[in-house]
C-alpha cells in the first residue's frame, strides 16, 4: 500500500492503514489542509470550490468525503459529477471558484485514487504552494465552521457542454471542415469519463464514431496507461480498415494517443509534435515540453522559426515555463497537449479538435501525416524502488559517471549526447525511477536506457 505526496497531488491506494494509503481519515486531513490553504491565500472570495471525479470505483466514496469536508470548512461545494481533469479545470474559472479538487489517479491502476489540487485559475498548485498544503496537513491544527457557516452543496452537470463549446470556439478549430471530411474514428475511453464526454465532442464535430470500453464504471478493461503494450484491442480494431483514426485517452482525459488507419501507433510523443506543428503553421511563437519528451518538438519548432525550451517534468512545471517564454503551445510527451488559447492544462479534447482540423486541411491519412515528422524512438523503462533507497545518491553517481557529457539536473539527471539522450528521475506518481532514452532506433534507445539501469542496479545491489 502506498501514499505519495507530490506536485501531482495526494495519490495512493485505497484502503489499509492511516498514513500509508488514501483512506477516509487521510482524505479528510489533506482536504482540510487544502481548504485552509485556499482560505489563507485569499486571492478570490467566492467561497466556492469545484469538485469533479473520474470513473474510478472508489470515486463515489472519495467524492463524498471531500465534499463533506469542504462543507465542514465553510465552503460551498460545486459538484460537477463525472468530469475530465480539463473540464474540472475550466469549471473553476467558469464558475469563479476559489479552487478545485479533481478526484482521479490519472493513468494509475484501478486500486489507486488521488486528489489533484487546483488554484483559482484552474491550474495545479505550484511546488511551493503544494508544500504549504502538506505542512498544514502535518500540523493537524484545523478549525472547522460553526453551524451557521457550514457550506452549501450544489450540483451542476453542465460543464461537459461548456467545455466542448469552448473547444469549438477556438480559432484554429474548424468544425465545419472536420464535418465535411467525413471522418470515422474509433476511440478507447478505458471505462471512465472519456466514455461520457468524447461522444458529445464527436457529435459536435460531425464525426462518425465507435467507442471501445465506453462504460464509465472504473473497472478498467486493460492497464489504463495509453501506451502501445496496453492498446492491442483498438490497434486490432483499426486494422479492420473501417476507420480513419484511432483515439485513446487515459481515465481523466488529459492524455491523448492516436492510432493510424493501418492500426499502428502514431506515437504518444508525436501527439504534441503534430498538434504543435499545426498551431505553429498558423501562429508564430515558442514551445515547451518536459525533459523526458522527444527532440522532434524542438526540430519542428525551429523549422517554424520558434524557440524550444525544456521544463522539469510535471504539468505545473511545464505551464510555468510556458508563461516565462510566452509559448503558444506546449505539453508533455505522454500525450499531454497544453494550448494557452484554451487554458493552461493538458486537454485531450483540445488536442483531438486541433488534430482533426489539421488532418482535414491537409487531406491526407494519419500515417502520411506521421511520415512528415522527424523520426526518433523513445524507450521507456523503470527501476522499482524499495523503502530506504537513496535516489539522490543514485542520481549523483550517474552524473559523476557521465560528467563529460551535457548534463541537465533541473529534474533528476538528463544526459544529452550528440545523437541521443537518457533521462532518469524519481516519479511523482509511483515509487519508481523512470528511465527514458531516445535515439534513432528503438534498439539503440533501449540499449542506452538499460546500460544506465545496469549501473544503477549494480549500485543498489540488485
3-state helix, strand, coil in the chain (%, to 5): 40, 25, 40
> What are the C-alpha distances in Å from 315 to residues 92, 138, 217, 389, 397?
17, 25, 27, 26, 27
Residue among 8, 58, 95, 106 flagged as catalytic = 106
Distance CA 421, CA 403 (A): 14
Nearest to 7 by CA among 453, 425, 354, 454: 425
How far from 106 is each of 11, 77, 116, 254, 430, CA to CA, in Å? 10, 22, 10, 8, 12
Q: Count the Cβ atoms, other than its own, within 10 Å of residue 232.
A: 11
367 flagged as catalytic: no
Strands of the sheet containing 432-439, edge to edge, are 377-384, 432-439, 421-426, 413-416, 406-408
Distance from C-alpha of 388 to C-alpha of 370, rounded to nearest angstrom: 44
CA dist 342 and 340 (Å) reads 5
Cα–Cα dist 126/117, whole Å = 10
Q: Of 208, 248, 194, 262, which is closest to residue 54 (Cα–Cα)?
A: 194
DSSP string, 145-189: --GGGPPPEEE---HHHHHHHHHHTSTT--HHHHHHHT-EEEEE-
CA distance 448 to 125: 35
Instruction: Give the whole-angstrom CA distance, residue 170 versus residue 311.
Output: 26
**Dist. CA 230–CA 234, nearest whole Å:** 9
Beta-sheet pairing, 327-332 with 48-53: unpaired
63 alpha carbon, distance to own chain's centre: 20
- Locate 425 and state its grid cell: 528521475
Active-site residue numbers? 106
Amino acid at each position: 500500500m502506498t501514499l505519495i505526496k507530490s506536485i501531482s497531488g495526494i495519490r495512493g491506494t485505497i484502503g489499509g492503514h492511516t498514513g500509508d494509503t488514501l483512506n477516509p481519515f487521510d482524505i479528510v486531513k489533506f482536504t482540510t489542509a487544502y481548504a485552509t490553504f485556499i482560505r489563507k491565500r485569499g486571492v478570490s472570495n467566492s467561497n466556492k470550490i469545484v469538485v469533479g471525479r473520474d470513473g474510478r470505483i472508489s470515486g463515489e466514496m472519495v467524492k463524498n468525503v471531500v465534499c463533506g469536508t469542504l462543507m465542514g470548512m465553510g465552503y460551498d461545494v460545486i459538484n460537477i459529477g463525472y468530469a475530465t481533469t480539463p473540464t474540472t479545470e475550466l469549471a473553476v474559472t467558469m464558475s469563479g471558484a476559489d479552487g478545485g479538487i479533481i478526484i482521479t489517479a490519472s493513468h494509475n491502476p484501478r486500486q489507486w485514487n488521488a486528489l489533484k489540487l487546483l488554484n483559482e485559475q484552474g491550474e495545479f498548485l505550484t511546488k511551493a504552494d503544494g508544500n504549504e498544503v502538506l505542512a498544514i496537513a502535518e500540523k493537524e491544527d484545523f478549525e472547522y465552521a460553526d453551524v451557521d457557516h457550514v457550506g452549501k452543496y450544489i450540483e451542476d452537470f453542465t460543464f461537459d457542454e461548456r467545455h466542448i463549446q469552448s473547444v469549438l470556439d477556438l480559432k484554429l478549430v474548424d468544425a465545419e471542415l472536420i464535418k465535411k471530411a467525413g471522418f470515422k474514428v474509433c476511440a478507447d475511453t478505458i471505462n471512465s469519463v472519456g466514455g461520457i464526454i468524447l461522444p458529445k465532442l464527436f457529435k459536435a464535430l460531425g464525426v462518425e464514431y465507435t467507442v471501445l470500453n465506453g462504460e464509465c464504471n472504473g473497472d478498467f478493461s486493460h492497464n489504463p496507461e495509453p501506451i502501445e503494450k496496453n492498446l492491442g484491442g483498438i490497434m486490432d480494431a483499426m486494422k479492420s480498415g473501417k476507420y480513419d483514426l484511432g483515439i485513446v485517452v487515459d481515465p481523466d482525459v488529459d492524455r491523448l494517443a492516436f492510432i493510424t488507419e493501418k492500426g499502428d501507433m502514431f506515437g504518444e510523443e508525436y501527439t504534441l509534435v503534430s498538434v504543435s506543428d499545426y498551431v505553429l503553421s498558423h501562429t508564430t511563437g515558442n514551445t515547451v515540453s518536459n525533459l523526458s519528451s522527444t527532440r522532434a518538438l524542438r526540430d519542428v519548432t525551429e523549422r517554424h522559426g520558434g524557440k524550444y525550451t525544456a521544463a522539469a517534468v510535471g504539468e505545473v512545471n511545464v505551464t510555468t515555463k510556458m508563461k516565462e517564454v510566452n509559448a503558444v503551445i506546449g505539453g508533455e510527451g505522454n500525450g499531454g497537449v497544453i494550448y494557452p488559447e484554451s487554458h493552461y492544462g493538458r486537454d485531450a479534447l483540445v488536442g483531438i479538435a486541433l488534430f482533426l482540423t489539421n488532418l482535414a486541411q491537409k487531406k491526407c491519412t494519419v500515417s502520411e501525416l506521421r511520415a512528415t515528422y522527424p523520426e526518433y524512438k523513445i524507450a521507456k523503462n523503470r527501476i522499482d524502488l524499495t523503502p530506504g533507497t537513496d535516489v539522490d545518491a543514485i542520481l549523483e553517481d550517474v552524473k559523476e559517471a557521465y560528467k563529460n557529457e551535457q548534463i541537465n539536473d533541473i529534474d533528476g539527471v538528463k544526459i544529452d549526447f550528440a545523437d541521443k539522450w537518457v533521462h532518469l528521475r524519481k516519479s511523482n506518481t509511483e515509487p519508481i525511477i523512470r528511465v527514458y532514452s531516445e535515439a534513432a532506433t528503438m534498439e539503440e534507445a533501449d540499449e542506452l536506457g538499460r546500460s544506465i539501469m545496469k549501473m544503477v542496479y549494480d549500485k543498489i545491489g540488485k
